[in-house]
Amino acid sequence: MTEANQKPNPTLSITPSRSGIERRYGDFPSFPAALDYAAQGASGFNIYSGRGDLLEVLPYSKLRQQAHATARRLLGIGLQPGDRVAIVAESDGDFARIFFGCQYAGLVPAPLPLPVAFGGKDGYIKTLRGMITSADARAVVVPEVIGGWTPDIIADFPLLFGGSPAELMAHEEKDIPLPEIKEDALSYLQFSSGSTRFPMGISVTQKAGMANAHAIAQYGLQVYPSSDKRDDRCVSWLPLYHDMGLVGFFLTPMTCQLSVDLLPTREFARRPHIWLELIARNKATMSYSPSFGYELCARRGAREDIDLSSWRVAGIGGDMIRPHIIHNFAETFAKRDFNKKAFVASYGMAETTLAISFAPLNTGLRTDTVDLSVMEREDYAQPAEESTETARDFVLCGVCLPNHQIEVRDSTGSVLKERQVGTVYVRGPSLMTGYFRRPEETANAFSGDGWLNTGDIGYMLDGQIVITGRAKDLIIINARNIWPQDLEWAAEHEVASLRSRDVAVFSVDDSQGERVVALVQCRYTDEEPRNKLKEELVALFRRLHGIDVDVVLVPPRSLPQTSSGKLTRARARAMYLNREFT
């Protein structure tokens, strides 16, 4: 459905923030059991348009009833418990009904992305078909917003169903008993937002999902108990096909009976101010975003006079945290009563269901200033003065959740001391069982002692984890470890005309030898400012990092991003090698 066809209903009233039942923090054996309990209260989901108009109110009591009916429809078309159902995830009531219908039917939903930055229609459909193949889905649900692409998406798959939510709901609701859902049963498949060529579904059981939701709600976010006079409420524009949106602001709030106000992801970049206005309007207390969401809001401001004083958890995650962006947001919206102590850095990934660590609440962003030149040579986070030319701020991403553990290890597997930089390993009850039907990749992801190799690089400081980059992005030049994030950060921080996600850095080894390349989105059309930008960047990289970088200017909005808005260097590198920027 296009936004023009979405009609707000002026008679609707949002679900209250106070559920009216005793708060429980995800202490259930399964998501269906959690919804059974939440349905006894008054809270639920509230679906908004990208303009901030209320389109649908879905109390958990109504959702439970509709999910039961959907479960019987799904089983009635021949699906069997354990079968996978691919759902292209629009942030609406249909997704909620079908996702939880799968949960009650013992089916395994696999949320798939909407078409955002996958290289046009053909690239998107190719990616989607790869995910459907990987999941071995027996049903595919495509929302009306891209309904015209359905034949191309589902062509030649041996499906029991392929079509829109409306077509699925038109099937008869048969009188079929729903199965008992065991805690070890597979709950859903989560595809990494960067999954393109070889998509892998992350297998999350009911038990693992509930363990993470419990830890997030009770210890990470510290949701107010029902006995408290204060109430929590969530607002989210995050995609429901990404772990931060799906687990953080769809599943977890339901497991602790919170109301959630959902905005469509595909509209956020056009109207980021609606996010802040909805937080103010509904007195929300919790909302998350990657750094770029805060940057968009700071750049465009708010449309109306708003009060953000209710916002007590302004979470940051999903990508490397850029401190200067966060500080700029705090300064911009201090006049709207935003409290910079509300910022909460966190760390996690889909392989751990979602979160593994949270910074302490009500303390704001804490950074550590290190000397990059020392870190590149010695894998040690040497403290540096901010005035040092090679200084870089890294964000402390919090302490590990209870019953989970984090270690930083060297290449031999030995645990490193504080400030020593190495690979981050984690373990705990929230971990995936593995990549769906990918035993070799699963075995490679885990160490011999059962710890998950996250593929992230970082160090420990005062009991908190500090993430410095991804191992697969590492550039080694003259025996130095160069992190592309550091070069990107330096360019975007030092050059006034550049914004976050304007620069992609990687190495190539071709006929010219090994080179470091920086693709830079340039908004200038005249030759003189373009040449000046290139010269400024080449000099900057030499001065701060001591390396020569080939700077290539590319058009605005041409650098590829994942479905959740992250820059994808691997895709940018492939496009460069394929001469797609010439």
Structure tokens that stand for 530 in this block: 């373009």
Determine contact, residues 454/461, Cβ cutoff 8 Å.
no
Q: What whole-number distance in Å separates Cα of residue 360 and Cα of residue 357?
A: 10
Taking 50 as the threshold, does the pLDDT of residue 426 lie above it? yes
Provide the 10 A C-beta neighbour count for residue 243.
Answer: 29
State the pLDDT confidence band at 500, using cuts at 50, 70 and 90.
Answer: confident
Q: What whole-number distance in Å separates Cα of residue 474 and Cα of residue 452?
A: 20
For 362-375, how does the pLDDT look when each residue is reduced to its tens digit (9 = 90+)?
999 999 999 988 99
Q: What whole-number distance in Å separates Cα of residue 424 and Cα of residue 441?
A: 18
For residue 249, the 8-state DSSP code is I
Percent of the chain with pLDDT over 70: 94
For residues 521 and 566, which has the higher predicted lDDT (pLDDT)?
Answer: 521
Residue 331 CA, distance from chain mean position: 25
CA dist list (Å): 433 to 327, 347, 357: 38, 20, 20
Sheet-wide strand order for 84-88: 108-112, 84-88, 139-141, 161-163
Strands 44-48 and 54-59: antiparallel
Taking 60 as the threshold, does the pLDDT of residue 1 lie above it? no
Domain ranges of the chain: 3-271, 364-472, 474-577
Partners of 424 in beta bridges:
408
Q: What whole-number distance in Å separates Cα of residue 281 and Cα of residue 428?
A: 38
The residue type found at 188 is Y
Determine contact, residues 280/63, Cβ cutoff 8 Å.
no
Burial 371-384 (b: 16+ CB within 10 A, else e): bbbebbeebbbeeb
Strands 54-59 and 84-88: unpaired
CA dist list (Å): 272 to 250, 269, 536: 20, 6, 31
The residue type found at 359 is A
Q: What's the confidence (pLDDT) of residue 240?
A: 95
Q: What's the confidence (pLDDT) of residue 478?
A: 59
| Start-to-end Cα distance in the chain | 37
Handedness of CA 536, 542, 548, 549 (dihedral sign): negative
Taking 50 as the threshold, does the pLDDT of residue 2 lie above it? no
3-271: CATH homologous superfamily?
Answer: ANL, N-terminal domain (3.40.50.12780)
Q: What's the confidence (pLDDT) of residue 155?
A: 97
Structure tokens that stand for 265 in this block: 């992801």
Structure tokens that stand for 274 in this block: 């609606």
Determine contact, residues 264/50, Cβ cutoff 8 Å.
yes
State the pLDDT confidence band at 118, using cuts at 50, 70 and 90.
Answer: very low
Phi/psi of residue 54, nearest 5 degrees = -75, 120
Taking 60 as the threshold, does the pLDDT of residue 235 lie above it? yes
Burial class (CB in 10 A: 0-12, 13-18, 19+), 266: middle
Q: What whole-number distance in Å separates Cα of residue 31 and Cα of residue 209?
A: 8
Q: Mean pLDDT of all residues in the chain?
A: 91
Phi/psi of residue 138, nearest 5 degrees = -100, -10
Taking 90 as the threshold, does the pLDDT of residue 38 lie above it? yes
Taking 80 as the threshold, does the pLDDT of residue 231 lie above it? yes
Mean pLDDT of 334-348: 97
Q: What's the confidence (pLDDT) of residue 341?
A: 98
Structure tokens that stand for 178 in this block: 């729903």
Q: What whole-number distance in Å separates Cα of residue 419 and Cα of residue 412?
A: 17
CA nearest neighbour of 432 among 372, 511, 351 = 351
Determine contact, residues 215/355, Cβ cutoff 8 Å.
yes
Which range is least confidently modeled, 59-68, 83-92, 372-381? 372-381
Mean pLDDT of 422-426: 96
Taking 70 as the threshold, does the pLDDT of residue 5 lie above it? no
**Is 3.30.300.30 the CATH number for 474-577?**
yes
Q: What's the confidence (pLDDT) of residue 154?
A: 98
CA nearest neighbour of 237 among 257, 256, 263, 214 = 263
Mean pLDDT of 296-304: 87
Supply the Cα-derived Rg of the chain in whole angstroms: 23
Mean pLDDT of 1-29: 82
CA nearest neighbour of 451 among 476, 422, 421 = 422
CA dist list (Å): 348 to 31, 74, 99, 345, 564: 21, 33, 23, 11, 15
Which range is least confidently modeled, 121-130, 406-415, 478-487, 567-576? 478-487
Q: How would DSSP label each residue in 308-357?
A: -TT--EEEE-SS---HHHHHHHHHHHGGGT--GGGEEEEEE-GGGSSEEE
For 183-212, how does the pLDDT look when each residue is reduced to its tens digit (9 = 90+)?
999 999 999 754 445 689 999 999 999 999
For 65-77, how does the pLDDT look when each residue is reduced to its tens digit (9 = 90+)?
999 999 999 999 9
For 447-492, how does the pLDDT look when each residue is reduced to its tens digit (9 = 90+)?
988 999 998 999 999 999 999 988 777 777 655 667 788 888 889 8
Q: What's the confidence (pLDDT) of residue 116?
A: 63
Q: What's the confidence (pLDDT) of residue 547?
A: 83
For residue 117, give every residue at least 6 positions away whose Cβ sits within 8 Å of its Cβ, in sequence order, or none: 560, 561, 562, 563
Q: What whole-number distance in Å separates Cα of residue 488 and Cα of residue 164?
A: 41
**Location of structure tokens 């911009």:** 332
Taking 60 as the threshold, does the pLDDT of residue 234 lie above it? yes
The Cα diameter of the chain in Å comes to: 72
Q: What whole-number distance in Å separates Cα of residue 72 and Cα of residue 49?
A: 29
Determine contact, residues 285/258, Cβ cutoff 8 Å.
no
Q: What's the confidence (pLDDT) of residue 194?
A: 47
CA dist list (Å): 312 to 218, 244, 292, 315, 316: 15, 18, 20, 9, 13
Q: How would DSSP label each residue in 20-71?
A: SS----S-SSSHHHHHHHHTTSS-EEEEE-TTS-EEEEEEHHHHHHHHHHHH
Q: What whole-number distance in Å separates Cα of residue 212 and Cα of residue 233?
A: 19
Phi/psi of residue 422, nearest 5 degrees = -160, -165
For 129-171, how does the pLDDT look when each residue is reduced to its tens digit (9 = 90+)?
999 999 999 999 999 999 999 999 999 999 999 999 999 999 9
Q: What's the confidence (pLDDT) of residue 511?
A: 57
Q: What whole-number distance in Å separates Cα of residue 277 and Cα of residue 364?
A: 22
364-472: CATH homologous superfamily?
Answer: Luciferase; Domain 3 (2.30.38.10)
Phi/psi of residue 44, nearest 5 degrees = 170, -165
